[in-house]
Amino acid sequence: MNTSIDFVLNGQPVSTRCRPDTTVLEWLRGDALLRGTKEGCAEGDCGACSVLLKQGMPSKQGARYQAANSCILLMGQIEGAALLTVEGLAQSAPDGHSIQQHMAENGSSQCGFCTPGIVTSLAGVLDQNGSPEESDIHDALAGNLCRCTGYRPIVEAAVSAAQSANNQLPEADADIGKDLVGVQEESVFHLPKTLAELLELKNKYPDAVLLAGGTDLSLDVAHARARWERVICTRDVEELQILQISDDKLIVGGAVSWQAALPHLETYWPSFATLVRRFGSTQIRSMGTLAGNLATASPIGDGAPSLIALNTNLTLASKTGKREVPLDEFFTYYRKCDLLAGEVIEAINIPLPKMDQEFRAYKISKRYDQDISTVCGTFSVTLENGLVSDARIAFGGMAATPVRCKQAEDAIVGLEINEITLTAAKAAIETSFKPMSDMRGTADYRLLVASNLVDRLFADLSGDVVEVMAL
């Protein structure tokens, strides 16, 4: 027996029966014959497939549409949601959405292949923010590649669209959705609503795919044509949506996206927020979660170094109970972490900054936007009476896992920040790591960059530098 996937598409209710591990892009262009949404890279990089998504669970009530890459979004993930495509935008006003009009009038499109994705991303930012800064427009475009027109006329069109019209998108009735959709025995997609239901399913189906935003996992479907018999999706689990301050910690639930966490990171750790704004693109951050990033145990994942330096711990839950694990002990080997069978990351607990605690995160990558780190250096330093009373220093891209550099911490704790401690910390970094060489950078380059980040930190703390775009 098939269970339909029900959602709202361009304002109209839709009920469809298809494998829930079909990508939304494939469904739109194939079944729905809506071919305005394009396929470019099929891996979340180019934005040609951008759509606007509004999810319906209670914690997202009142939320606006978010841009997402439909090439790595699965049909199961839009159960109950509202989806808007470029065709829906064209119907949203008699002459199309104002961004479509301004793009056309301003000559902001040449071959036009990227244009549907670009107007979709821009309609998303204009819906969220009636008077965006130019930096908001650049942020919204970081995940949309245009090869022939160039971005100046595109940004100009967005600025004039923002000034000339009310760009709020029509409200749509996103709903919480069913807890199971799919083609039974072939492809089943569970959307449990409580942690107890999630853990029961994890226990019952140990081989099922555990999916959060899918910005890592679903590349297998988009690119390698993987087929999944059973998926358990964390999207609707109420306890995993928590995002609150409690006991001097920021608690981020195991299904909270980077985009949702960003305002809190901005409040407490502005430098971390600057790094997160360079994490993928708006489309990736609106779907990708902190828990998914940590569970991949990637040595160059951008979340782990900052969270290790901030002394984060994880709450892991399984059917048999809960345990707390410090994040600096969570990564066990290349791409391996201390998650037992049946366990999920329930929460990420980040201690709030103490008085006199300074935090800096530096991401070094080949491109400023939409690129993974070559090296990521993060530093939490507490100064009392001119002396370093506490330090936690962590790196990504320097070893098989994200790691803390205790030698560098020991080189500065109890001492003043001056030329001597700076040299000692740099020497400690140079002797602590044996990084690998790969297409992102050689071992020598990584060592040099990592130790130079100490110069950058000391200059930063002493007020000698202003924010540098390239870092």
Ligand X SMILES: Cc1cc2nc3c(=O)[nH]c(=O)nc-3n(C[C@H](O)[C@H](O)[C@H](O)COP(=O)(O)OP(=O)(O)OC[C@H]3O[C@@H](n4cnc5c(N)ncnc54)[C@H](O)[C@@H]3O)c2cc1C
Residues that bind ligand FES (CB under 6 A): 39-42, 44-49, 69, 71, 109-115, 146-149
Which residue, 43 or 200, is less far from ligand FES as judged by CB?
A: 43
β-strands 82-84, 66-69: how paired? unpaired
β-strands 321-326, 313-318: how paired? antiparallel
Q: What is the dihedral of CA 377, 383, 388, 393, to 10 degrees?
A: -20
Answer yes or no whether residue 349 interacts with ligand X by CB under 6 A: no
Question: Which of 5, 22, 23 lies closest to 14, judged by CA?
Answer: 5
Which residue, 48 or 376, is less far from ligand FES as judged by CB?
A: 48
Pick what 40 binds: ligand X, ligand FES, none; C-beta below 5 to 8 Å, kind-dependent: ligand FES
Residue 305: CB atoms within 10 Å? 31
In the complex, minimum distance from the CB of residue 43 to ligand FES, in angstroms, rounded to a whole number: 6
In the complex, minimum distance from the CB of residue 141 to ligand FES, in angstroms, rounded to a whole number: 11
Answer yes or no whether residue 293 interacts with ligand X by CB under 6 A: yes
Residue nearest ligand X (C-beta atom): 292
Which residue, 146 or 345, is less far from ligand FES as judged by CB?
A: 146
Q: What is the largest CA-CA distance in the chain?
A: 72
Which residue, 56 or 288, is less far from ligand X as judged by CB?
A: 288
- The secondary element (H helix, E strand) that includes residue 203 is helix 195-204
Pick what 296 binds: ligand X, ligand FES, none; C-beta below 5 to 8 Å, kind-dependent: ligand X
**Contact pick of 44, 88, 305, 441 for ligand X (by CB under 6 A):** 44
> Could you give the string, one character per residue 249-288, with x where binding to ligand X holds by CB under 6 A and - elsewhere?
-----x------------------------xx---x--xx
In the complex, minimum distance from the CB of residue 98 to ligand X, in angstroms, rounded to a whole number: 28
Answer yes or no whether residue 236 interacts with ligand X by CB under 6 A: no
Contact at 8 Å (CB) between 62 and 128?
no
Following DSSP, what letter does each residue of 74-91 receive, concatenated? Answer: BGGGGTT-EEE-HHHHHH
In the complex, minimum distance from the CB of residue 246 to ligand X, in angstroms, rounded to a whole number: 19
Which residue, 161 or 237, is less far from ligand X as judged by CB?
A: 237
Answer yes or no whether residue 116 interacts with ligand X by CB under 6 A: no
In the complex, minimum distance from the CB of residue 55 to ligand X, in angstroms, rounded to a whole number: 13
Instruction: Select the span of 32-40, 83-91, 173-181, 296-304 touching ligand X (CB under 6 A).
Output: 296-304
- Applying the rule CB under 6 A, the residues between 199 and 228 that interact with ligand X are 210-217
How far apart CA 428 and CA 412 sit, in angstroms, is 10
**3-state percent helix, strand, coil for the chain, nearest multiple of 5:** 35, 25, 40
How far apart CA 359 and CA 274 sit, in angstroms, is 12
Contact at 8 Å (CB) between 412 and 425?
yes
Contact at 8 Å (CB) between 241 and 284?
no
Residues facing 361 on adjacent strands: 378
In the complex, minimum distance from the CB of residue 109 to ligand FES, in angstroms, rounded to a whole number: 5
In the complex, minimum distance from the CB of residue 74 to ligand X, in angstroms, rounded to a whole number: 10
- The secondary element (H helix, E strand) that includes residue 398 is none
SS (H, E, C) 328-356: HHCEEECCEECCCCCCEEEEEEEECCCCC
Answer yes or no whether residue 457 interacts with ligand X by CB under 6 A: no
Answer yes or no whether residue 74 interacts with ligand X by CB under 6 A: no
How far apart CA 448 and CA 429 sit, in angstroms, is 9
In the complex, minimum distance from the CB of residue 280 to ligand FES, in angstroms, rounded to a whole number: 10
- Applying the rule CB under 6 A, the residues between 413 and 432 that interact with ligand X are none
For ligand X, the binding residues (CB under 6 A) are 43-45, 210-217, 234, 254, 279-280, 284, 287-289, 291-293, 295-296, 301-303, 339, 344-345, 372
